[in-house]
Amino acid sequence: MKFKELKLKKEFIENLNSLGYENLTPIQELSLEKSLSGSDIIAQAKTGSGKTVAFCIPMVEKLEVKRFTIQSLILAPTRELSNQIANELRKLFRHIHNVKVLTLCGGVPFKPQVASLQHNAHIIVGTTGRVLKHIKEKNLNLENINYFVLDEADKMLDMGFYDDIEQIVEVLPQNRQTLLFSATYERNIENLASKIMKNHTFVKIENEK
Ligand code: ADP
Ligand code: MG
């Protein structure tokens, strides 16, 4: 299936094609129609299968640029991954001007992040500990979030972030779309999913043996 067969804005399809994205990868093909129609999704597929683009595309379609408020939150296990996701997002939003993607990660100074937050953003990408710290210090208002992503959820749980994730989810609006991406799917992910999602669709690409 090609991106131009999806119901996406023409300029967006042109941007995707200019980035070298023409055909959907299998996990994109399985997840995108559902996620674009607003469903909660758990997607399992191995590393390198195109999961970032899979969860970013609905965000590009859903974001209201003129409403300058934080509408999407993506949590990732590490700073490196958060930066990669933010860079991918900036490319995918290239055809739309003035979309502000802000990263909030640990291991970098806190105060400049507070200053950036005072200038507001549309999308936050970050690691759980730092995001939670900004929530607790009331620097971060997440009451308009309608699109929430956990990327590499298995890794986040391995790193012991279950409680942090739970605390972050508590301050998010109930009325939101939630997507959980993971390379593996074990009992702990199932528990987390049942806590943070109501009705989800599970999509999986089997690894070739
Ligand atoms: P994952 O999160 O599943 O490990 P990534 O999202 O990091 O995978 O994607 C891996 C690589 O595949 C990236 O370099 C990305 O640009 C590329 N990619 C993603 N989707 C497509 C696509 N539809 N066509 C071609 N390349 C793609
Ligand atoms: Mg990934």
Q: Does residue 58 register a pLDDT over 70?
A: yes
Express as a percent the part of the chain with pLDDT over 70: 99
> What does the alpha-carbon distance between residue 149 and residue 172 come to, in Å, rounded to a whole number?
12
Nearest Cα to Cα of residue 174 among 208, 201, 209, 148: 148
Q: Which ligand is nearest to the CA of 50?
A: 1
Is the residue at 74 inside a domain? yes
Q: Please tell me the distance between residue 195's alpha carbon and the centre of ligand 2 in angstroms.
A: 22
pTM of the model: 0.96
Q: Which pLDDT score, from 0 to 100, does residue 208 have?
A: 54
Q: Is any atom of ligand 1 closer than 6 Å to the C-beta of 98? A: no
* CB 57 less than 6 A from any atom of ligand 1: no
Q: What is the pLDDT of residues 141-161, one digit of tens each?
A: 999 999 999 999 999 999 999
Q: Give pLDDT tens digits for 10-35.
A: 999 999 999 999 999 999 999 999 99
Residue 85 lies in a domain: yes
pLDDT at 186: 87
Does the Cβ of 24 fall within 6 Å of ligand 1? yes
Which atom of ligand 1 is the closest one to the Cα of 25? 23
Report the CATH number at residue 36.
Answer: 3.40.50.300
Q: How far is CA 46 from CA 26, 65, 72, 152, 184, in A?
A: 11, 32, 24, 10, 8
Q: Which atom of ligand 1 is nearest to the CA of 19?
A: 16
Query: Does residue 111 lie in a domain region?
Result: yes
Q: What is the number of structural domains in the chain?
A: 1
CA 88–ligand 2 middle distance (angstroms)? 11
Query: Residue 81's domain spans which residues?
Result: 6-204
Per-residue pLDDT, 209: 44
